[in-house]
Every structure is written in structure tokens, then in C-alpha cells.
């Protein structure tokens, strides 16, 4: 089975939550909806403090081409529009007071036949629903659905690798709502007349592969593609390498090589936006980790505070040492439980131990494990040192900005050096400098 060079085999931890069916969580008293839950320009509020809003109503609209709107997950009143602490720094948030009525806008849930819609209508429905890439990056989906050359798109890939340990939200969607995943793919295929659809699933989910194969047996334009289980198979470039046999670096987008890649949750959101008139107002979140009392998968209204989600799920076992939003390889550690679940929050993990603080950094022995593990063929050992010394020109010359931040180098390092962390420092400094230089010209 085709795979990619580098990468690592991890303890998967999927048995903790993988068996638990999706449970719906009721919205709490107060919901926090950040204006920036995506890559691109933040949305702009189109409600004022004191306004009553309905479930599904647009409360913030996109402000540019690369931007995404936000809809209300509940009915209630706008309590405030203010700066609140968020996972990555502070940001503007619409604070909603939930009235518990769950009063929806009249069109919510209205069935629609996507085969009667034009490509433009499909894109505007997805855009109006505020759909963004839910695998973690949060790239506005409507933009991805409007490449320069729609006829040149040959492959539409639903990325169901879910290679991050512990996370099982995509897996549960494949098992419990496969018709929506496939439906989302079909909607995408309507936009790209020359494209074939591929459902790419890591082979550690054999039951999901079997089910998808059964359901797509009569679909000539859709294939199910098992992938070798190896982290980070779900990375977009590696997905293209294995499934579409094309390699791209940071200078090109998948669309440049005739591909569109969408995550499982995103496919479901596309389906719901187009065929069920349901904007993106909830998502599946995996609660897991050794510190979680009841690991499971929950359908959570966006804006729900981690504290409310945790209470609904039965709390911690003992005292956790570390909390992570997302997966353990790329997720964000946090302490503030009053922060909200956003469109890109796939996991809420609680760990009863912390590998990072338990293992002190020691001297690099130049063993080369980071070089072998790097899927981007970089030399993290040298690059991380350059970045930590502030040698960003050399860092860029040695292709440091190609780093995809998968975390493999830090994971394998026997000296427990913060390689990925320094790579990120270097990468963002290089990108910042490039922008500054471009602005000067």
C-alpha cells in the first residue's frame, strides 16, 4: 500500500473514545462566538448588543473573499460584543445569552435537492452557512470550492485519515452519518464536472472502510481508498502524494494540481448547508485522554464553553495535568475553561501526565531521527538551531518555511529538544519578513 517517506507510528489512543456513539450536548447559559474562527479576515457582527437572535440566524458576516460568516447556534439575546481570551490569544467575541427556547429561523432544516442548483448557488449556500475547513486549519470552504479552473479539478478527496491520536470525531461521522459524508462529496462533485471522488480512510478504521465501500458500490465516480496508518497521513500534501500521486510544496495549492481536499466534518457541513438548509452551528468534538472520566464523541453547539461541555460529559478523573484542544500532536494546550468550542475544535483532551514537562531537554546527539521522521524532507536539527539563534535568512535558505508543523521531529527526539517549536518560530518569522518585504515593494 502506497505511503510516504518519513512520518511516525504513534500510540493511537483511539480505543478510548472510538466506541462511543455521538451524543448531543445541550447549549449552556452563555455562548461565546469568536469573530475569527477561520483563516482570513474576521467576520463583522451584523447584530447589536440587546438584539434577539434565532437559531441559525447570521450574526456576523464575511468581510472579504477569504472570510466566513457566523450563525447563531441558539435563540437568545446578544449580551455583549467584546474581547475575550481565546485558544490563541485574545479576540473579539459575540456573547449570546441562551433563552432555552431553541426557536429557529423558519427555513432551518428545509430539504433541498442539490441537483437542481447551479454551481454558483451551491457556493453561496456554503458561504452563507459559514462553513470552514473543520480539520483544524479553518480555511473558508466556499473559497476552496471556487478554484480558477473548475474544469481542471480531477480529484476531490474527502480526508478521513484522522491521523491524530485520540481523535475519533471523523470516525464516528463515517460510521453514524456516512450518507451525509458521501452526500457532501456528491455536492462537491457537482461543482467539478471532470472530477472523481475519493474517500481516503486510514486502515485502522476497517469498519468505516467496509461501510463506505458498501454505500458507494453503485457510485462509479466515487472510490474508497484505504491508507496505511502512519502519522501525519492526514496532512494535505501527503494526502495528495498518496491518493493523487502529485507532490506540492508551500508555493502551490491542491487546486494548482487539480485536486480539492476536504475534511470529513467539512463534507458533512457542506451537505447540511446545501441539502438541509442547516448552517454550521454545531460540530462533533471528541472528549478523550486518560484524564477524562467518560471519553466519547459529542455534538456540541459552537460557542459552548469547555466548562459546560465537560460538565455534560461527566468531568475529569482526578486532577488532569494538561488540557489540549485538538489532537496531541498539533493541538493547543489551555487552562482557561471559559473558552469556547469553535468550528475547528475537533478534540478536548485531558491528560493525567505531561511528557513535555517530565522529560528535560538534553544535548543533541545528532542521531538524525528528526531527519528520518520529517515528511517534508527537512533537517529539523539544523533548522531548529538556526531559528533559535535568530539566523532566519539561513533558515529560509535551507527551506525551513516548508515545515508543516506536524510535530514528528519533536516526538522522536531522544534529547527531547523543542524542534517543532523552534521550526514554528523560524517559519512565522520568515513569513512575517516576506510580507514586510512585499509591502515595501
Partner 1 sequence: MLNISNAPHIRNMRPTAAVMADVAIALLPVCGVGIYLFGWQAALTLALSVITCVATELVYELLMKKPVTVGDLSAVVTGLILGVNLPASSPWYLPVLGGIFAILVVKMLFGGLGQNFMNPALTARCFLMISFAGQMTRFTQPFTGTDLVSGATPLSQVQGGEQADLLQMLLGQHGGTIGETCAVAIVIGFVYLLVRRVISPRIPLVMIGSTMAFIFLFQLCTDQAALAFSANFLLGQLLGGGLLLGAVFMATDYVTCPITKGGQWIYAALIGLLTALFRVFGSSAEGVSYAIIIANLTVPLIERITVSKPFGYQKKKEGKAV
Cα separations in angstroms, 71 against 105, 120, 141: 11, 21, 15
Mode of pairing for the β-strands spanning 196-202 and 155-160: parallel
Q: At what angle do helices 178-191 and 119-128 cross, to 10 degrees?
A: 130
Mark the segment that binds partner 1 (CB under 8 A) among 60-68, 84-92, 109-117, 352-360: 352-360
Contact 266, 169 (CB under 8 A): no
With 0-12 / 13-18 / 19 or more C-beta atoms within 10 angstroms meaning exposed / middle / buried, residue 435 is exposed
Residue 426 within binding range of partner 1, rule CB under 8 A: no
Among 247, 307, 389, 432, which residue interacts with partner 1 (rule: CB under 8 A)?
Answer: 247
Nearer to partner 1, 293 or 416 (CB): 416
Residue 394 within binding range of partner 1, rule CB under 8 A: no
Q: Which single residue is written with the C-alpha cell 437572535? A: 53
Nearer to partner 1, 157 or 185 (CB): 157
Residue 415 within binding range of partner 1, rule CB under 8 A: yes
Minimum Å gap between C-beta 396 and partner 1 is 10
Contact 306, 30 (CB under 8 A): no
Nearer to partner 1, 212 or 329 (CB): 329
Nearer to partner 1, 145 or 408 (CB): 408
Q: Which single residue is written with the C-alpha cell 465501500? A: 213
Among 343, 376, 384, 426, which residue interacts with partner 1 (rule: CB under 8 A)?
Answer: 376
* Chain residues 312-331 in contact with partner 1, contact rule CB under 8 A: 320-324, 326, 328-331
- Supply the DSSP string of 239-282, one letter for each residue: HIIIII-----TT--GGGGTEEEEEHHHHHHHHHHHHS---S-E
Among 379, 388, 429, 433, which residue interacts with partner 1 (rule: CB under 8 A)?
Answer: 379
Minimum Å gap between C-beta 339 and partner 1 is 13
Q: How many Å apart are CA 43 and CA 60, to the nearest integer?
A: 6
Q: How many Å apart are CA 39 and CA 411, to the nearest integer?
A: 27
310 φ, ψ (degrees, to nearest 5): -65, -45
Residue 90 within binding range of partner 1, rule CB under 8 A: no
Residue 88 within binding range of partner 1, rule CB under 8 A: no
Residue 242 within binding range of partner 1, rule CB under 8 A: no
How many residues form the binding site for partner 1 (CB under 8 A)?
67
Minimum Å gap between C-beta 306 and partner 1 is 12
Q: How many Å apart are CA 420 and CA 353, to the nearest integer?
A: 20
Among 89, 357, 436, 440, which residue interacts with partner 1 (rule: CB under 8 A)?
Answer: 357
Residue ranges that bind partner 1, judged by CB under 8 A? 5, 10-11, 165, 237, 241, 247-252, 320-324, 326, 328-335, 351, 354-357, 359, 362-368, 371-372, 375-379, 381-382, 398-399, 401-402, 405, 407, 410-416, 418, 420-421, 424, 434, 438
Amino acid at each position: 500500500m502506497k505511503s510516504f517517506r518519513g512520518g511516525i507510528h504513534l500510540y493511537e489512543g483511539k480505543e478510548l473514545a472510538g466506541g462511543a456513539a455521538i451524543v448531543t450536548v445541550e447549549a449552556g447559559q452563555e455562548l461565546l462566538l469568536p469573530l475569527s474562527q477561520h483563516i482570513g479576515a474576521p467576520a463583522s457582527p451584523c447584530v447589536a448588543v440587546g438584539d434577539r437572535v434565532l437559531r441559525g440566524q447570521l450574526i456576523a458576516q464575511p468581510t472579504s473573499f477569504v472570510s466566513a460568516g457566523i450563525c447563531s447556534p441558539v435563540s437568545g439575546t446578544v449580551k455583549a460584543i467584546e474581547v475575550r481570551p481565546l485558544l490563541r490569544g485574545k479576540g473579539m467575541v459575540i456573547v449570546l445569552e441562551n433563552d432555552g427556547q431553541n426557536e429557529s429561523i423558519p427555513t432551518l432544516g428545509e430539504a433541498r435537492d442539490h441537483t437542481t442548483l447551479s454551481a454558483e448557488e451551491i457556493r453561496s449556500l456554503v458561504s452563507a452557512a459559514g462553513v470552514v475547513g473543520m480539520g483544524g486549519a479553518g480555511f473558508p470552504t466556499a473559497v476552496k470550492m471556487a478554484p480558477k479552473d473548475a474544469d481542471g479539478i480531477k480529484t476531490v478527496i474527502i480526508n478521513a485519515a484522522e491521523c491524530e491520536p485520540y481523535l475519533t470525531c471523523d470516525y464516528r461521522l463515517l460510521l453514524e452519518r456516512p450518507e451525509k459524508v458521501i452526500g457532501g462529496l456528491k455536492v462537491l462533485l457537482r461543482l467539478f464536472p471532470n472530477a472523481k471522488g475519493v474517500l481516503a480512510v486510514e486502515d485502522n478504521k476497517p469498519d468505516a472502510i467496509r461501510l463506505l465501500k458498501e454505500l458507494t458500490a453503485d457510485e462509479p465516480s466515487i472510490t474508497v481508498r484505504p491508507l496505511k496508518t502512519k502519522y501525519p497521513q492526514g496532512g494535505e500534501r501527503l494526502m495528495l502524494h498518496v491518493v493523487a500521486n502529485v507532490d506540492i510544496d508551500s508555493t502551490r495549492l491542491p487546486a494548482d494540481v487539480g485536486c480539492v481536499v476536504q475534511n470529513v466534518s467539512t463534507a458533512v457541513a457542506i451537505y447540511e448547508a446545501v441539502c438541509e438548509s442547516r448552517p454550521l452551528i454545531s460540530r462533533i468534538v471528541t472528549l478523550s485522554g486518560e484524564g477524562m472520566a467518560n471519553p466519547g464523541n459529542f455534538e456540541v453547539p459552537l460557542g459552548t464553553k469547555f466548562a459546560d461541555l465537560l460538565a455534560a460529559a461527566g468531568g475529569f478523573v482526578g486532577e488532569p495535568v494538561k488540557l489540549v484542544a485538538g489532537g496531541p500532536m498539533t493541538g493547543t494546550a489551555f487552562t482557561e475553561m471559559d473558552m469556547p468550542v469553535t468550528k475547528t475544535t475537533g478534540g478536548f483532551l485531558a491528560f493525567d501526565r505531561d511528557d513535555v514537562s517530565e522529560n528535560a531537554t538534553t544535548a543533541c546527539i545528532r542521531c538524525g531521527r528528526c531527519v528520518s521522521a520529517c515528511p517534508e524532507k527537512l533537517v529539523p536539527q539544523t533548522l531548529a538551531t538556526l531559528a533559535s539563534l535568530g539566523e532566519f535568512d539561513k533558515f529560509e535558505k535551507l527551506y525551513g518555511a516548508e515545515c508543516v508543523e506536524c510535530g514528528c521531529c519533536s516526538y522522536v527526539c531522544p534529547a527531547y529538544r523543542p524542534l517543532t517549536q523552534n521550526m514554528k518560530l523560524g517559519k512565522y518569522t520568515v513569513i512575517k519578513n516576506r510580507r514586510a518585504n512585499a509591502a515595501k515593494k
